[in-house]
Amino acid sequence: MTHELDAIGLLCPLPVLKARKRMQALAVGETLVVHTDDPAAVIDMPHYCNESGHELVGQAQNGDVMVWTLRKA
């Protein structure tokens, strides 16, 4: 199952903090798609996945918005 998180307009560290909270509620293997426009997310989201053990499945740019796909470990 895929879940969505709109973190547009939020600045560091809020996108990662909200993603972490949402990931806690997911079952292993479920995915969370996070939309951000904070330039720091380019560093923060991969770092969060690396530290937490979750898989960064993908990232894409859609105009000013970065779209991150995370899979719960």
Active-site amino acid positions = 12
> What are the phi and psi torsion angles at 40 (to 5°)?
-70, -15
Distance CA 41, CA 48 (A): 10
Strand partners, 60: 67
